[in-house]
Chains A and B, each alone.
Chain A
Amino acid sequence: MDKSNPRTMPIQSATFTNEINAEIRRAAATGIYDIRGGGAKRRVPHFDDLLFLGASVSRYPLEGYRERCETSVTLGTRFAKNPIQLDIPITIAGMSFGALSGQAKEALGRGASMAGTSTTTGDGGMTPEERNHSSKLVYQYLPSRYGMNPNDLRKADAIEIVVGQGAKPGGGGMLLGQKISDRVAEMRTLPQGIDQRSACRHPDWTGPDDLEIKILELREITGWQVPIYIKVGATRPYYDTALAVKAGADVVVIDGMQGGTAATQDVFIEHVGLPTLACIRPAVQALQDLGVHRDVQLVISGGIRTGADVAKAMALGADAVAIGTAALIALGDNDPKWEAEYQKLGSTTGAYDDWHEGQDPAGITTQDPDLAARLDPVEGGRRLRNYLKVMALEAQTIARACGHNHLHNLEPEDLCALTMEAAAMARVPLAGTEWYPGKAGF
């Protein structure tokens, strides 16, 4: 062969990318799938693909900094004697003590309380610190029932029956042994140092008919005082919402695939579930078809980052949102100041997701006392409070621009979509048109 002839330019495969090839090599070397924290990292249609239209000749805006735009929301008005009153419609999603350090849980409670909203327990039960620092605390009722007891149940301001979560609908969890401190082990009634499997199914009910009876039991034990939420991972939002209503839920929580987890297989996180954007309208449709929209509240989570995301979720019909990953970032997760340590762990700022290993430089997803001490819960709480307030201000700014005096008055007609996919999922017109895929008459 004449070496002076031009060579074919090396072409990287779009199928066998460097990332894919690296994962193949990693799997071949280790014999185990990749486990990580966080939610889906792949690009999926999201709130960024929607825009607000703002006021125009046919609508007039409200004056910023002068005319009020309410942000409050009440959750649990259907059956509970004591619904939860929140100042802002942005709640803190369930994250466990075990997955997170005690300091991180305290910071979440402090920040949420200062912002006038609720926080949520997670697998492993309720810690006194969390209860004491959370003015409104939602108690998760999970398949594992780790740490579950009636005394804590009665201390809760609401109960959230977790059927699934967006990062792993249909999957359980695994808290790896390196994060099982003596206290975590004791709370979960398991030996120290072993991998703790969180079950994917509830142990004492299957299906919506059983769930209805389970809710009756929980209400009887708590005297019908507190709201009962049902949380599902986004897969079949229309039917899951309808069945949750049938089972007697006060609040339905739907968690999209961008919703985070402390530890799950990457293949699960990236390949199971629906994007958050795709599940709001079907869930709202179910509530409307049953005549309970706004009577049964809808909470949306999974990739909520900004006040714009909050406003868009609410315009599509949600009553409130929940944040998890964003709250951890507000506390200091993936902060560039830890870059050198992320590098040592083989990661980098913004990409660190090995939350299951317990080596978090930011001291948030760890049980290592030295690392955990890096997070000041008072300062962390203040940062979270600030962030929540900013999100609320951003959402108010948008709502005023659309002429609404309450975030709940935002509506789909305030939105347009930048892509066909987003238009189809959100059921709002493609920008500059009156059309979206599936709309009757087109």
Chain B
Amino acid sequence: MQSYDVAEQGLRGLNQVLQAQSDDTNQTTWQITNPKGSHALAVGLDAPIDVTVKGSTGYYCAGMNQQATVRVEGSVGPGVAENMMSGTVIVEGDASQYAGATGHGGLLVIRGNASARCGISMKGIDIVVQGNIGHMSAFMAQAGTLVVCGDAGDALGDSLYEARLFVRGSVKSLGADCVEKDVRPEHLDLLKDLLERAGVDAKPEEFRRYGSARQLYNFDVDNAAAY
């Protein structure tokens, strides 16, 4: 296992060495110590490596991740795994705003709670939150799946496109054009797979599904009050 002390060796060196890993690297396991809330930690990775961060991070941890598995043994600041393309990011603690924002792919797992705008503008990423999520989550979410084992705040799925939302607890309110939909067998299969991959012990049947009513897809002046 490779070790890297952020406090001693610096952020630039960390990202440089992690980004330098190739598809066939033999340095596949990394332990990062003393993150001390650093921003932009382990960003832009593109190799099948496992990175464990021993502590909490600042903004944009694992931003634009590809292939790598990044596990944070702490909490993360805003924008964790933003624009992730592939791979897996696991946060053992809580996540601040914009978790998984604009992500195109991969799996983001948050063991604690996620703050406002979780999954904003998501474009294919899968997000599983074991706790609750804040307001305006999945705003303008285009594709992918957001699974919330706890409760969702106000305006869930506002101006939603084709992303799929599942919530086990309560939803304080739905945003514009977001409606509850039937849970069909294929959705139970999808949930089962995601929960298993996220290591979450929950039953798919306990979740309710939300999606776009698709009423705002093309501008109509009679819908102006919805905006």
**A residues whose Cβ falls under 8 Å from a Cβ of B:** 30-32, 144-145, 148-150, 153, 174, 176-177, 188-191, 193-195, 197, 199, 203-205, 210, 213-214, 216-217, 220-224
Are the CB atoms of A145 and B218 closer together than 8 Å? Answer: no
Judge whether B219 and A203 touch: CB under 8 Å.
Answer: no
A149 to B102: give the CA distance in the assembly, Å. 10
Please give, as numbers and ranges, the residues of chain A lying within 8 Å of B12 by CB-CB distance.
220, 224
Q: Is the CB of B102 within 8 A of A204?
A: yes
B104 and A189 contacting across the interface, CB-CB below 8 Å: yes
- Binding site secondary structure of chain B: loop
Interface majority SS on A: helix, strand, loop or mixed?
loop
**Are A220 and B40 closer than 8 Å at their CB atoms?**
yes
Residue from A153, A189, A194 within 8 A of B143 (CB atoms): A189
B197 to chain A, nearest CB (A): 21
- In the complex, the chain B residue whose C-beta lies closest to that of A149 is B85
**B102 closest partner in A (C-beta):** A145
| Complex contacts, A216 vs chain B, CB 8 Å | 39-40
CB <8 Å contact, A213 and B40? yes
Interface string of B111-135 (1 = CB under 8 A from A): 0000001001101100000000000
Q: List 12 A-B contacts (CB under 8 A).
A: A150-B83, A189-B142, A191-B217, A194-B161, A195-B218, A204-B78, A204-B97, A217-B40, A220-B12, A220-B44, A221-B19, A224-B12
- Number of B interface residues in the complex (CB < 8 A): 43
Partner of A213, one of B19, B60, B121, B221: B60
Which chain A residue has the least Cβ–Cβ distance from B144?
A: A189
Verify if B58 is at the interface (C-beta below 8 Å from A). Answer: yes
Given A145-B123, A150-B46, A221-B43, CB of A32 within 8 Å of CB of B221 = yes
Per-residue interface assignment for chain B, residues 41 to 74, with 1 indicating a CB less than 8 Å from any chain A CB and 0 otherwise: 0011010000000000011100110100000000
A145-B102, A217-B63 known; A203 vs B43 contact (CB < 8 Å): no
Checking B59, B83, B217 against A145 with a beta-carbon cut-off of 8 angstroms, the contacting residue is B83
For B142, the closest partner residue in chain A by CB is: A189
A177 B121 Cβ-Cβ under 8 A: no
Cα–Cα distance between A242 and B117 once the two chains are bound (Å): 29
Q: Which residues of B contact A199 (CB under 8 A)?
A: 121, 140
Closest 7 CB pairs of A and B: A221-B44, A194-B217, A31-B221, A204-B98, A145-B102, A217-B40, A150-B64
Interface contact A223-B98, CB-CB below 8 Å: no
Which B residues between 1 and 44 are near A, CB-CB below 8 angstroms? 11-12, 15-16, 19, 39-40, 43-44
Is B63's CB under 8 angstroms from A203's CB? no
B94 interfacial by beta-carbon distance below 8 Å:
no
Chain A residue nearest to B124 in the complex (CB)? A189
Query: B120 to A203, Cβ gap below 8 A?
Result: yes
In the assembled complex, the CB of A1 is this many whole angstroms from the nearest CB of chain B, namely 45
Asked if B162 contacts A191 (CB within 8 A), the reply is yes
Q: Say whether, besides A32-B219, A204-B120, A220-B12, A150 and B161 are in contact (CB < 8 Å).
A: no
Do A145 and B60 form a contact, CB below 8 Å, given A199-B140, A223-B16?
no
Q: Which residue of A lies closest to B80 (CB)?
A: A204
Q: How far is the CA of A222 from the CA of B15 in the complex (A)?
A: 10
| In the complex, B79 has a CB within 8 A of chain A | yes
Considering the complex, which residues of chain B in the window 179-217 have a beta carbon less than 8 Å from any beta carbon of chain A? 217
Query: Known contacts A191-B161, A197-B159; is A213 also within 8 Å of B85 by CB?
Result: no
Q: Specify which of A30, A148, A197, A217 lies most central, judged by the most chain B CB atoms within 10 Å of its CB.
A: A217
Q: Is the CB of A203 within 8 A of B101?
A: yes
- When distances are taken between beta carbons in the complex, the residues of chain B under 8 Å from A194 are 161, 217-218
Instruction: Please pick, from B58, B121, B143, the residue contacting A203 in the complex, using a CB distance under 8 A.
Output: B121
The smallest C-beta distance from B176 to any residue of chain A, in angstroms, reads 12
Give CA–CA (A222, B162) in the complex, Å. Answer: 31
